[in-house]
Amino acid sequence: MSYGHFDDERREYIISRPDTPLPWINYLGCEAYFGIISNTGGGYSFYRDARLRRLTRYRYNNAPFDFGGRYIYLRDNANGQFWSPSWQPTRHEAKNYSCRHGMGYSIIGSTFNRIKAETLYFVPLGENLEIWQLSVTNLGRKPAKLSVFSSIEFCLWDAQDDATNFQRNFSTGQVEIEDGVIYHKTEYRERRDHFAYFACSEKLAGYDTQRDVFLGAYRSWDKPAVVERGRSFNSLAHGWAPIGSHHVKLNLKPGETRQVIFLLGYHENPKDQKFDPPTSQTVNKRTVKPVIAKYLKSTTVESAFESLRQYWDRLLRLYQAKTPDRHTDRMVNIWNAYQCMATFNMSRSASFYESGIGRGLGFRDSNQDLLGFVHMVPERARERVIDLAATQLETGGAYHQYQPLTKRGNDDIGGNFNDDPLWLILGVAAYLKETGDWSILDAPVPFDNKPKTEKALYEHLERSLQYTLDRLGPHGLPLIGRADWNDCLNLNCFSDTPGQSFQTTTNKDGKVAESVFIAGMFVLAARELADIAERRGLNSDAKDYRKAAERMHETVRKHGWDGEWFLRAYDDFGKKVGSKECEEGKIFIEPQGFCILAGIGMEDGLAKKALDSVNNVLATPHGIMLQQPAYSKYYLHLGEISSYPPGYKENAGIFCHNNPWVMIAEAMVGNGDRAFDYYLRINPSAREKMSQLHRCEPYVYAQMIAGKDAPTHGEAKNSWLTGTAAWNYFAITQFILGIRPTYSGLMVSPAIPSSWKGFTVSRKFQGVRYDITVKRIGKGNRARLVVDGRPVEGNVVPRPRGGVTQVAVEATLE
């Protein structure tokens, strides 16, 4: 059963009933101002940093789930009935409910007592504000006398503090109201130079800014006192919980439609121009007023919305595929690319499953996000690469996370996740291949953000590699540190105390436990760096890196192969993890994927053997599980992985993030059938018809699908912010469809199912549009290329002459 359907033409998912199994959300904003919005209007907004600049309040882990939102109430003043067009918070039985999530906007509405109401929510490009454009239509035969009430609850900026420090917060809230605009200015008088505003396009019948007055004692948002009585109290918040609510009266003739625009925005003033007059404590509104006036006009709103549409049109046209499979087309052309933007912007910080409080941007996460994002907005990718590298330590190590607002490494979680530095090399390599912007390697970048420590980015990459070499264990494999990609395989933690963080507690000195996964990564990263060095003319560097890669390759073959698959690790006792010798957790997905990505086992058949093992032991109809057999008890020496009940998360869940590693590996060994089969198993659109089981949104990937050991096998969790987005995009576009940027040009090397007759891709690469038609004439996946009518050797399309902006490529697969 499904809860809606895709409209690919409009690039929307249309939800047709409000009671989805979980809130199905969307993101507003793609630059600095962001909002999360659920299909019933729930969610919150923030400027840049979900923790430090939270505009509106949200209550996590609530019932109903998505509470705290952008709520509008309509009231029929003839009979006192009131309802919310987005269903929440009143949950009236409305007709024709629909929520259309699109690219950077959502439109939610319904009809109640012949009044149709629909709100378009979006963030205009280049602005730090969100627009709610409400349209109300009287479908009845009699005139309608209506009241509209808007409502939001302000967050007192620091979302962590807001949710905990009540003894202070109940006394700090402050607002100002001027010309009907509500200004939220808590802490503005002292150390903040920013405020929020909530404005409305229509003449107000009243307003409220104090929550308890608006709701009334012992009432909640489903039945606010103000809405029930049909009149605002014009309350002025001081302390307690400041909110924003406008009251507008609308008289509609039969058939008439009226629009009301609400703006919620964030604004900063220069420190020395905070007040107006300067000696007062009144917010200086001189620079914000023109912005408000501009966006309260419906002509501006419409043209801003059109610009947003065009923006997405332009971004998505950079890679468009037409294949025999509509789920592939839909995800590649629309939703997967869109999700890559969200993960790039948020890393893992703010969703309905990440509170926006605990985590800033992850070092390894953000580097991986580049894989799916860099072709869309390369300038922002460049900035991100530099920001990430600037948090690197002089040892080559990395903070695991950093705060986007301060761009500083996060001391609470620290470093010593020994895979982290290597991701920088893979992120930079992806950036270089896509953009050809070699100048980035010479950009001076500090270590740990300390002035005067600047070194060329290239040196950061060298140190990343050296970091691994400086930390080899007894078998010559990389020491794992706190954890590698798998944050939950904590081989040095040994935690037996409740409440200790598995990520930050380290009870062993870490000189024994080794990771075969990092070894695979090292081989890949060292080869990438060698390629980079060669292209910079640093041949002796390149030679060294290749030698180091070779050595590690040999070590993996010697100490990292278990007979039928790659081993996962050695624990603190030097015992194998992910081996047939283990009682549980005999085989793990990560080293199978990553060792093969690095090219290990390609020549001697180990790769194929490992992939067959994955297929035999780890694959389920819902995707490939992380490991098997699941851990049935807590293993002190393995850490968090064994803390999850079997089938969930890292303990034998289907961790969607590393399924694409196996897809890529299958593509590399030429098995297009299997690669694509795995791709479809977790493709959200292909799972739409089982929404009741899957439960998460059918238009974006979730981090995890419960594995076969869980009672809810097939149920997804933690949608939106996951490396799954970038890796699936990378796997399908670059390895299965096989259109891959390389240093010497665009490669066409598909590994598609044998049943496909072909496909087309239109792809912009370094200023040139490539129109690629792939036709199958044989059963295999060997491509022969004809470029602009002329056959070329190999599978890389040579760069066209200067000035040429369009190239036609015909590839035949034999």
CA gap 282, 787 in Å, rounded: 66
**Which of 487, 562, 571, 709 is the catalytic position?**
487
Among 348, 471, 482, 695, binds ligand NOJ (CB under 6 A): 348
Among 246, 364, 384, 649, binds ligand BGC (CB under 6 A): 649
Counting contacts by CB under 6 A, is residue 523 touching ligand NOJ?
no
Counting contacts by CB under 6 A, is residue 344 touching ligand NOJ?
no
Counting contacts by CB under 6 A, is residue 484 touching ligand BGC?
no
Q: Residue 486's binding partner, choosing from ligand NOJ, ligand BGC, none, with beta-carbon cut-off 5 to 8 A by kind? A: ligand NOJ
Phi, psi torsion values for 554, nearest 5 degrees: -60, -40
CA gap 20, 22 in Å, rounded: 5
**Closest by CA position to 618, among listed 692, 551, 568:** 568
CA gap 309, 105 in Å, rounded: 9
* Least spacing, CB of residue 661 vs ligand NOJ, in Å: 12
And the tokens for 177? 């109201």
Q: Which is nearer to ligand BGC, 571 or 640 (CB)?
A: 640
Stretch binding ligand NOJ (CB under 6 A), from 160-168, 239-247, 362-370, 435-443: 362-370
CA angle 245, 246, 251 (to 5 degrees): 140
Q: Which is nearer to ligand NOJ, 158 or 650 (CB)?
A: 650
Under rule CB under 6 A, which residues in 365-404 are in contact with ligand NOJ?
A: 365
Q: Treating both helix axes as pointing N-terminal to C-terminal, what angle do 516-535 and 589-597 enclose, rounded to 10 degrees?
A: 20
Q: Is the CB of residue 240 less than 8 Å from the CB of residue 170?
A: yes
Q: Give the count of residues interacting with ligand NOJ (CB under 6 A).
A: 9
Q: How far is CA 8 from the centre of its chain?
A: 21
- C-alpha radius of gyration, the chain, whole number: 28
Counting contacts by CB under 6 A, is residue 434 touching ligand NOJ?
no
Position with the least CB separation from ligand NOJ: 487
Counting contacts by CB under 6 A, is residue 210 touching ligand NOJ?
no
* Least spacing, CB of residue 655 vs ligand NOJ, in Å: 7
Q: Is the CB of residue 696 less than 8 Å from the CB of residue 637?
A: no
Counting contacts by CB under 6 A, is residue 486 touching ligand NOJ?
yes
CA gap 196, 185 in Å, rounded: 7
* Least spacing, CB of residue 490 vs ligand NOJ, in Å: 10
Counting contacts by CB under 6 A, is residue 485 touching ligand NOJ?
yes
Among 487, 528, 572, 810, binds ligand BGC (CB under 6 A): 487
Outline where 629-709 has alpha helix (H).
659-668, 672-682, 691-694
Q: Which is nearer to ligand BGC, 49 or 487 (CB)?
A: 487
Among 120, 283, 488, 785, binds ligand NOJ (CB under 6 A): 488
Q: Which is nearer to ligand BGC, 176 or 640 (CB)?
A: 640
Q: Give the count of residues interacting with ligand BGC (CB under 6 A).
A: 6
Among 76, 462, 650, 666, binds ligand NOJ (CB under 6 A): 650
Q: Is the CB of residue 424 less than 8 Å from the CB of residue 389?
A: yes
Binding map of ligand NOJ across residues 742-771, x = CB under 6 A, - = no contact:
------------------------------
Q: In the 3-class helix/strand/coil scheme, how is 578-639 assigned residue by residue? A: CCCCCCCCCEEHHHHHHHHHCCCCCCCCHHHHHHHHHHHHHEECCEECCEECCCCCCCCCCH
Q: Residue 101's binding partner, choosing from ligand NOJ, ligand BGC, none, with beta-carbon cut-off 5 to 8 A by kind? A: none
Place of tokens 């491509």: 783
Counting contacts by CB under 6 A, is residue 650 touching ligand BGC?
yes
**Closest by CA position to 123, among listed 337, 284, 266, 288:** 266
CA gap 546, 568 in Å, rounded: 23
* Least spacing, CB of residue 641 vs ligand NOJ, in Å: 9
Stretch binding ligand NOJ (CB under 6 A), from 73-81, 359-367, 491-499, 709-717: 359-367
Q: Decide if 448 is catalytic.
A: no
* Least spacing, CB of residue 643 vs ligand BGC, in Å: 8
| Identity of residue 243 | I
For 488, other C-beta atoms within 10 Å of its C-beta total 20
**Closest by CA position to 20, among listed 355, 352, 338, 336:** 352
Q: Which is nearer to ligand NOJ, 228 or 387 (CB)?
A: 387
Q: Which is nearer to ligand NOJ, 482 or 576 (CB)?
A: 482
Instruction: Report the SS3 class of residue 327.
Output: helix
CA gap 730, 185 in Å, rounded: 44
Binding map of ligand BGC across residues 429-468, x = CB under 6 A, - = no contact:
----------------------------------------
**Closest by CA position to 482, among listed 493, 467, 497, 466:** 493
Q: Residue 84: CB partners within 8 Å, gap ≥ 6?
A: 41, 71, 72, 73, 74, 90, 91, 92
CA angle 186, 187, 193 (to 5 degrees): 105
Binding map of ligand BGC across residues 499-518, x = CB under 6 A, - = no contact:
----x---------------
| Identity of residue 127 | E
* Least spacing, CB of residue 650 vs ligand BGC, in Å: 5
* Least spacing, CB of residue 405 vs ligand BGC, in Å: 20
* Least spacing, CB of residue 503 vs ligand BGC, in Å: 6
Among 185, 364, 576, 681, binds ligand NOJ (CB under 6 A): 364
* Least spacing, CB of residue 726 vs ligand NOJ, in Å: 12
Counting contacts by CB under 6 A, is residue 488 touching ligand BGC?
yes
- Total count of residues recorded for the chain: 814
DSSP string, 457-474: HHHHHHHHHHHHHTSB-T
Counting contacts by CB under 6 A, is residue 487 touching ligand NOJ?
yes
Q: Residue 263: CB partners within 8 Å, gap ≥ 6?
A: 129, 130, 131, 132, 197, 198, 199, 200, 292, 295, 296
* Least spacing, CB of residue 754 vs ligand BGC, in Å: 36
DSSP string, 509-538: --SS-EEHHHHHHHHHHHHHHHHHHHHTT-
CA gap 754, 279 in Å, rounded: 76
CA gap 622, 616 in Å, rounded: 14
Q: Which is nearer to ligand NOJ, 358 or 670 (CB)?
A: 358
Position with the least CB separation from ligand BGC: 487
* Least spacing, CB of residue 723 vs ligand NOJ, in Å: 6
* Least spacing, CB of residue 154 vs ligand BGC, in Å: 28
The strand pair at 129-138 and 115-122 is best described as: antiparallel
Q: Residue 503's binding partner, choosing from ligand BGC, ligand NOJ, none, with beta-carbon cut-off 5 to 8 A by kind? A: ligand BGC
* Least spacing, CB of residue 412 vs ligand BGC, in Å: 12
Binding map of ligand BGC across residues 599-638, x = CB under 6 A, - = no contact:
----------------------------------------
Q: Which is nearer to ligand BGC, 199 or 656 (CB)?
A: 656
Q: Which is nearer to ligand BGC, 293 or 636 (CB)?
A: 636
Q: Residue 76's binding partner, choosing from ligand BGC, ligand NOJ, none, with beta-carbon cut-off 5 to 8 A by kind? A: none
Q: Which is nearer to ligand NOJ, 39 or 658 (CB)?
A: 658
Counting contacts by CB under 6 A, is residue 591 touching ligand NOJ?
no
Site for ligand NOJ, rule CB under 6 A: 348, 362, 364-365, 485-488, 650
Residues in contact with ligand BGC by CB under 6 A are 487-488, 503, 640, 649-650
Q: Which residues are catalytic?
A: 487
